[in-house]
Amino acid sequence: GAGVLEAARTEPVATAVPADAQLVALATDDGVQAWFALRLRAEPAAAAAAPGVPTQRASLNVLYDVEMTLTAELGRTKLPVRQVLELTPGAVLELDRAAGSPADVMVNGRLIARGEVVVIDEEFGIRITEIVRGEDGAA
């Protein structure tokens, strides 16, 4: 369904979260990473966590259908403004990676995986070769 995200802000939970909202923890093996407050129009059919599944993990079920934008990054370079303004069609930019190096797969600017660039029916794709874990991007 449709949703609206507001600018991030910090305030006490009592004033930030409506009384009819549910708090959802986004957790990894390292613990809770973030919290979301959600207002549900109807209770989900399977509101209770499955046996043996921590409540924090079961809470993620409400977010499974939320679409996220993934970005594949082949490499980077730095240029002075003058050179950027002088770019023309056909210009070639040298990136900081060798040909054939894995591309980074990012979500909201955060590295989550690496993979090799492939061509599928004349369109580019990424074959995931590594899932990246941790704050610093280390596996």
pLDDT per position as a tens digit, 90-122: 999 999 988 888 999 998 888 999 999 888 888
Instruction: With beta carbons less than 8 A apart as the criterion, state whether 113 and 128 touch.
Output: yes
Q: How does DSSP classify residue 96?
A: S
Q: Quote the radius of gyration of the chain (alpha carbons, Å).
A: 21
Matching CATH number, 70-131, of 2.30.330.10, 1.10.3720.10, 3.40.50.2300, 1.20.1260.10: 2.30.330.10
- 58-101 pLDDT, tens digit each: 677 778 888 888 899 999 999 999 999 999 999 999 999 888 88
All structural domains of the chain with their residue ranges = 13-63, 70-131
138, with CB counted inside 10 A (0-12, 13-18, 19+), is: exposed
Helix (H) or strand (E) holding 31: strand 31-38
